Amino acid sequence: MKNVRLRAGKERSLLRRHPWIFESAIAKGSADAGETVRVKGDQGQFLGWAAFSPASKIRARVWSFDEAQRIDAAFFAAACASAVKARARFDIDSNAMRLVHGESDGLPGLIVDRYGDTLVAQFTSSGVERWKDVIADALLAATGLSKLFERSDASSRALEGLPEATGWLRGQGEVELTLQEHDWQLEVNIVEGHKTGFYLDQRDSRKRFCDYARRLKFERVLNCYCYTGGFTVAALTGGAAHVTSIDSSGPALEKAAANVALNGFEASRASFMDADVNASLRQFIDQGRSFDAIVLDPPKFAPTVAHAERAARAYKDINRLAFKLLEPGGVLFTYSCSGGISADLFHKIVASAGCDAGVDGYIHERMGGAPDHPMTVNFPEGEYLKGLVVMRK
């Protein structure tokens, strides 16, 4: 077993059970990509078993802090089984859910989502890449399923020095799937869709938006960065009279329109714009339009803290424009999925946007990812998705 020794003082995060070891923390030691190494402190004390990644700034990711633990097929079988078992205790009203959420489930770099009888996995670190076949078998054993599709095409693969990889790992089947979520259905393509096919982390936010639409009887809803129309369908299910949905992807908008039809809503209750969101919001302001509910669910503006300042300006701009379009008493559901933007910073950005727009509002709720995308005590970085529900005064 190869050893990695840390610099003096760099063991503190591991003693708090945080699983990341950065390049700058290592004094000596190396290994092949994905190889398991013994991590030691500067005095030689055992700290953990980790997967080494020679190409990444996160030079090693910890599998276990237990010196007696063996990192073998049995380890991965137990970890996968534990993650799947945990989901049975979560409140998930859907046949689609995240089964493995990387570090939060003790499997750094592994994302696994279930869509009905099909699993979709992303292997985004050298460690899980090295154990891919073992993990694939463990996932099928833990779920009793037979189909596993790989979507290892995330940009983070490049940071690990790994090429993109997609295709069936186990079994074969349809790639166009229909998931059930709360009181509606949504079509998903696991080959072409974002992430593993869909944004399952917003499941409960869509339900809350539906609840608000039902209670407040929304007339004019604006869904920005609508993708395939999850919030659009939720609003219509809640009784919204009309939803305008904007995205810069024509194929996504076609899926959104199909999802509206799938749920039995009249086409006249929804309109779709293949356009830039910022330009559209400015156009609406010039036209004197207004909405009683707006959703802002943009893509990741700040993947790391280094991008936070530029991203903050982008978030502020779209929220400022949305506040200007929001009717008094209207509701804004606004989100950031950027890991580089903390919940506290996001709140400050939205507050600044409201100030610039001359608008104040009540913060009704703070939103986060659905429970199957957990943050743990030892890994706060798991809290990447944060949102605010603001009612304009």
How far apart, in Å, are the Cα atoms of 298 and each of 243, 320, 338, 382?
17, 14, 10, 19
The C-alpha torsion from 80 through 99 and 109 to 75, rounded to 10°, is: -10
What is the C-alpha to C-alpha distance for residues 340 and 383, in angstroms, rounded to an integer? 11
How far apart, in Å, are the Cα atoms of 378 and each of 17, 157, 167, 320, 348?
6, 24, 33, 35, 25
Which neighbouring-strand residues pair with 184?
Answer: 181
What is the C-alpha to C-alpha distance for residues 291 and 326, in angstroms, rounded to an integer? 5
- Closest C-alpha to 39, from 18, 71, 11: 11
How far apart, in Å, are the Cα atoms of 260 and each of 184, 233, 275, 317?
10, 6, 19, 29
Distance, first Cα to last Cα, the chain = 63
Q: Give residue for tokens 């989100």.
A: 335
- Closest C-alpha to 29, from 58, 59, 72: 59
Q: Which amino acid is at 355?
A: C
From the list 80, 210, 226, 337, the catalytic residue is: 337
What does DSSP say about strands 118-123 and 242-247: parallel, antiparallel, or unpaired?
Answer: unpaired
Beta carbons within 8 Å of 379's beta carbon, 6+ residues apart: 18, 19, 103, 104
337 is a catalytic site residue: yes
Are 167 and 147 contacting, i.e. CB atoms less than 8 angstroms apart? no
What are the catalytic residues? 337
